[in-house]
Every structure is written in structure tokens, then in C-alpha cells.
Amino acid sequence: MEIQNTILRIAPLDEAAMAAAQARLDALVKPPGSLGDLERYAVRLAGIYGQVPQATGRRAILVFSADNGVCAEGIGSAPQSVTAAQTVNFVRGVTGVGALAGATNTEVWVADVGMLAPVRYPGVRNLRVRAGTGNIRVEDAMTRQEAKTAVLAGMRLAREAAAAGVRAIGVGEMGIGNTTTSTAVLSALTGEDSDRLTGMGGGLGERLQAVKRAVIRDALARAQADASDVMGVLSKLGGLDICAMAGAYLGAASARIPAVIDGYIGCVAALAAVRLAPEAKAYLFASHVSEEPGAALALEALGLEAPLRLRLRLGEGSGCPLLFSLLDAACAVYHKMATFEEARIDPGYLEKLKR
């Protein structure tokens, strides 16, 4: 019930604020539209906040950690113990996302939603649903209720962040084996051939990639998931991290703050969120196109474009701080550029260019 109530809180963007923002952008001393996506970002931020802010302000990346039972098939890019080790390192600020967050004045909030064993470390939130998931090759990842509980955990954390004054969130993850679960979920939701979507994950060689493809094919054949039943797809094939991430996107939208998507796993979780609540899409910003083969297709299914192509495939939420910088740039353009009138330039020359 709480999930549905949260979804019902997701409101359309403020069209009047967007129109006003577009009018000012068109009056700035530049050819109309010449700042491309920065202008589109400013307009969308106006729709979310009711006006274009001076900057995105306080922001936080919510990182959800969980273990995946499919690692029993030997296709993890690292030992499962790395999930717990990196979860602590997120709090210490020494991971990839930690370094990038520190460089962009971004907080990192860390939550355990289902690691094999609890991590008792200051700064790691205990939102555990269960101790890891089932091996999707031979069994469902979790029960339907557990999937809902994980979605709800992500929703609540995003809304908690908004209530604490966070004005924009990014969403990240940590879970060895989660490119496997993401590919299974993406294939089930879109009907795309899973072999086309399967990549190296954290660095698998050709032999293990072949095993990974076979595992995903077997999981899909076993689950026979219905694409129209998103919660069913998540419970049969997903991970607790993916569920919580989907919930975080929905929670942010319900709190009227933007949510930034990282890479492949983030895109798959965002697709699940948008399938649950199409109106949430307006609040989502893609950051980059991951090197994973399925990433571009996931973005296409979402109907979103990512501005950055940096060959990233780390995950963790590492692309989010980079997009926050672009959103701040959009705000700076909007507020700090002069209008034609303020710059004492006659915009009539623009009309001549059209002839």
C-alpha cells in the first residue's frame, strides 16, 4: 500500500515554470538553443522545483549494497567478500564514487539492503531485507514480498534524504554479480535477446562471459517472467540492490527532487521504476552511456539520452557526480548570463540569419 501511495504522490512537472524558464533562456545573449542540453536541463529543473535554482544545492548519492546468489555459478568479477569490503570503503570515501563525490561536494549515503552478513560499521545503514538472494539460474532471487520490501527501503531512504534537505540524489550500488541480474531483468522487461545484452561486467574474460550468457539464458527459461508484472520480474530475476534503486527513483520523484542514473545497473533499475510509474521519468537524468552492451538499449527503452561517453563500467553511482556538475552548469547559465537587453545587443541580427 505504501508503494502505491508513494507513486500516487508523483506529480507532473510545473508547465508554467518550464515555459517561464524557456522564455528567459531564449532571451539570453546567444542564439536560441545554442547551449543544447544545458538549456533543456534548466527547463526541466524549473519544472521540478518550480524555478531554476542557483545550483542543485545539497546532493547525495544513495548506494545500496547486496549480495547475489548467482555468484554460485562462478561468474562474479571478484569474490563476494568484496561487496562488504567496498561497502565500508564507501563510508571511508576511498572508492571511485567516493573520490568523485568528494571532488563535487556530494555526500554518499550507504545502505545494506541484503549482503550475506551484516556490516556493523558507522555510516552503513541497516535496511536489510534478507541475507543475499537466491541463485537465479535455479530459483527465484527472492519472494514477491521481499522485492516489495526492498523497493520500499529505497523509497524511504530517498524521501528521508529529501526531508533532510537533500535537493538532488544520485543512485548507486554494490553487489558482485549484479550485471548478471541486471541483464536478466532487462531481457525480461524488453524481450531483447539476453546474449546481445551480456558483457564483461567487472572484467570477465571470454570463457566466463560464455558461462554468464548460459546462466542468464537458463534463468530466463526457468523464470518465464511476465514483462507486464514488474515486481514479478524483479523477484524472480533481480537483486535487492536493483529493487532498492528502483524504489529510490520513485521516492525522489514523489518528493519532487531530481534523481540521477549512473550506468547499466542504474538504467535497468530506472526502467523498472518507470514501468511501475511512468510519471517518474520526468524526474530522472541519465549521466553516461556505460560500456556494458545492454546500457544503450536500456537508455533507449527508458527514452532518455545520456550526455557523457567516458567508457565507464565501474558502477557504484560513479557517473552521478559528473552529471551534478552539468546540472550546476545549467543553473549558472540560466542565472549568470545576460539577456540581450542587459548586454545592450540588438537581437535583430538573429532574424537576418534565418533568411
Alpha-carbon distances of 324 from 17, 105, 262, 327, 331, rounded to whole Å:
21, 10, 11, 5, 11
Helix 206-223 vs helix 178-190: crossing angle, to nearest 10: 50
Which residues, including other chains, have CB under 8 Å from residue 24's CB and lie 6 or more apart? 334, 339
Name the E strands within 115-258.
Answer: 124-126, 168-174
Q: Which helix (H) or strand (E) holds 6?
A: helix 2-8
> In degrees to the nearest 10, what's the CA dihedral of 172, 126, 116, 290?
0
Residues for the chain: how many in total? 355
**Which of 39, 73, 146, 316 is the catalytic position?**
316
Cell of 163: 526531508
List beta partners, residue 107: 60
First to last CA, the chain: 58
Q: Which residue carries 540569419 as its cell?
A: 353
What's the burial of 20, exposed, middle or buried (CB within 10 Å: 0-12/13-18/19+)?
middle
Q: Which residue carries 544520485 as its cell?
A: 170
In the annotation, is 316 catalytic? yes
What's the burial of 354, exposed, middle or buried (CB within 10 Å: 0-12/13-18/19+)?
exposed
| Residues acting as catalytic residues | 316
